[in-house]
Amino acid sequence: MLAERAIAQGDLDAELEPETIGTLLQEITAGVHIVAVGTESIDQMATRMERAWYFLLPSIVPGEKLSYFREFAARRLRRYVP
């Protein structure tokens, strides 16, 4: 599982339960997508996902890696084209 590997590599907090965090991330991603489609604002999906990551990351990544992962998420989402 991807979350297990991320925890083992120190990219996610060691206290997290891999299956729970994996499910949470899947649900958040699906939720952002469903809301964007349901409100006919698919063009705003990347911005909404970046905002979700911005607030979620402090809860799941070690503090010393927070700025790296925020920038990584922002870069990846800028490449998104609906």
Instruction: Name, in order, each residue with C-beta under 8 angstroms of 45's C-beta and a sequence gap of 6 or more.
Output: 32, 33, 36, 80, 82
pTM for this prediction: 0.79
pLDDT, one tens digit for every residue, the chain (82 residues): 899 999 999 999 999 999 999 999 999 999 999 999 999 988 888 889 999 999 999 999 999 999 999 999 888 888 876 6
Question: Domain residues of the chain, as ranges?
Answer: 2-78
Helix (H, G, I), strand (E, B) or coil at 36: helix
